[in-house]
Amino acid sequence: MEKQVILTGDRPTGNLHLGHWVGSLQSRVALQHSFEQYVMVADTQALTDNFGNPQKVMENVMEVVGDYIAVGIDPQLTTIFIQSQIPALTELTAYYMNLVSLSRLERNPTVKAEIAQKEFEESVPAGFLCYPVSQAADITAFKAELVPVGADQLPMIELSNEIVRRFNRLYNTDCLKESKVYLSNTSRLIGIDGKAKASKSLNNAIFLSDTPGTIREKVFSMFTDPMHVHVSDPGRIEGNVVFTYLDVFHDDMEETALLKERYARGGLGDVTLKSLLDDVLQRKLQPIREKRESLSKKYLLEICFEGTQRAKSVAQKTLQEVKDAMGIDFFSDNIK
Ligand code: ATP
Ligand code: MG
């Protein structure tokens, strides 16, 4: 039986962080054995809100690939590729653009929140508003059935499936496949500042490549309970970032439960609590950082080159099916 296909990716706008790790990277590592997995570095998409700074995006491509390998994505099992190097994805986007209305794009809650956060004001780049259409191109080009992403991506998959249904109905074909979201247990890790989502752009994340000193600094800057002034004061668990992170990252759930009890009762200081989280994160991130440091840029480039070649031929095949379904064909019979 043929393996089911996975497609997912990340914008090279910075290094990957703990949110990526628990929201999507760990799923990719687990699923790569039983699925045919494609992982895309979405540099074209990253340009939609970084057009003035392409250098930043390009520099981050290999950083992101380094993070992939460091967490255990295996290039023998997973095809890693660079979005901008696959023209078929841009062509598919151009066709799909006609299957979505402007008002539908403007209703996308994730894009709406990002627009507000980025303060584009009246001049939202058209490419930014339309990036969910290019995501539909990415997903369908590989006929992906499963997309392991964080919760912010749910509206994108919904739109992608709308495009698939519309295309298949309109051109009386079944060449495009609908996909499903694969959500992890932590599909939205909060930021170290307590904001709803840890994000590269908000600079409120602990990065997989952070040094031990930076990790410690970030942990000690975390928001706890402003009313918890003295060690003996009872403290709040809810909204306390340190406990949220312990829930996600501390393997000893019993210890976390006991700490919560003590903290709520009074008698547990923030410094002790943060030191524990620091230990937990240092232990988890040290092997990732060491693996990352051992990778040469040449090796990462080779992985991307091979993966991109493979991905290119798959995407090209789907593009041909799409054009055939639409009857876009001029020269194949007449000129050889
Ligand atoms: P940017 O701020 O540039 O958009 P980002 O931190 O949101 O960066 P993306 O590259 O947009 O990262 O997201 C890559 C993948 O990681 C997506 O599947 C996204 O849902 C997931 N992801 C990002 N942040 C989190 C988070 N805090 N918790 C869970 N998943 C996340
Ligand atoms: Mg994002």
By most ligand atoms within 8 Å of CB, the mutation choice from 7, 8, 11 for ligand 1 is 11
Number of C-beta neighbours around residue 3 at 10 A:
10
Among the atoms of ligand 1, which is closest to the Cα of residue 202? 2
Among the atoms of ligand 1, which is closest to the Cα of residue 46? 3
Contacts of 167 (CB under 8 A, 6+ apart): 96, 99, 173, 176, 322, 325
Q: DSSP code of 22?
A: I
Half-sphere exposure of 314 (CA within 13 A, CB side): 20
Q: Which domain holds residue 115?
A: 5-189+297-326
Task: Tell me if 207 is assigned to some domain.
Answer: no
Rounded to the nearest integer, the mean pLDDT of the chain is: 95
List all residues whose CB is within 6 A of at least one atom of ligand 1. Answer: 10-11, 13, 19-20, 23-24, 149-150, 152-153, 187-189, 197-201
**Rounded CA gap, 305 and 114, in Å?**
32
Q: Which of 191, 190, 162 is nearest to 176 (CA)?
A: 162
Task: Tell me if 336 is assigned to some domain.
Answer: no
| Nearest ligand, CA 201 | 1
Task: Tell me if 85 is assigned to some domain.
Answer: yes
**Rounded CA gap, 256 and 250, in Å?**
7
Task: Tell me if 223 is assigned to some domain.
Answer: yes
Same-domain status, 255 and 159: no
**Rounded CA gap, 13 and 61, in Å?**
8
By most ligand atoms within 8 Å of CB, the mutation choice from 8, 10, 160, 183 for ligand 1 is 10
Same-domain status, 121 and 229: no
Same-domain status, 94 and 16: yes
CATH value at residue 183: 3.40.50.620
Same-domain status, 31 and 131: yes
Count of all residues that appear for the chain in the document: 336
Task: Tell me if 50 is assigned to some domain.
Answer: yes
Closest residue to atom 14 of ligand 1, CA basis: 10
- Binned at pLDDT 50, 70 and 90, residue 333 comes out as confident
Among the atoms of ligand 1, which is closest to the Cα of residue 187? 29
Same-domain status, 301 and 237: no
Quick: pLDDT tens for 3-35: 999 999 999 999 999 999 999 999 999 999 999
Closest residue to atom 18 of ligand 1, CA basis: 149
- Binned at pLDDT 50, 70 and 90, residue 336 comes out as low
What pLDDT was estimated at residue 1? 76
| Nearest ligand, CA 23 | 1
**Is 36 in contact with 142 (CB distance < 8 Å)?**
no
Q: Which of 316, 319, 3, 309 is nearest to 145 (CA)?
A: 3
Task: Tell me if 194 is assigned to some domain.
Answer: no
Quick: pLDDT tens for 236-293: 999 999 999 999 999 999 999 999 999 999 999 999 999 999 999 999 999 999 999 9
Same-domain status, 179 and 277: no
Same-domain status, 108 and 164: yes
Task: Tell me if 202 is assigned to some domain.
Answer: no
Same-domain status, 82 and 229: no
Task: Tell me if 82 is assigned to some domain.
Answer: yes
How far apart are the CA of 273 and the centre of ligand 2, in A?
30
By most ligand atoms within 8 Å of CB, the mutation choice from 6, 20, 190, 200 for ligand 1 is 20
How far apart are the CA of 69 and the centre of ligand 1, in A?
18
- Domains: count for the chain: 2
The CA distances from residue 70 to 12, 46, 189, 316, in Å, are 16, 22, 20, 30
Same-domain status, 94 and 71: yes
Same-domain status, 45 and 149: yes
Same-domain status, 17 and 108: yes
- Strand intervals (E) in 50-187: 78-82, 146-148, 180-182
What pLDDT was estimated at residue 226? 86
How far apart are the CA of 199 and the centre of ligand 2, in A?
7
CATH value at residue 242: 1.10.240.10
Quick: pLDDT tens for 144-166: 999 999 999 999 999 999 999 99
Same-domain status, 260 and 312: no
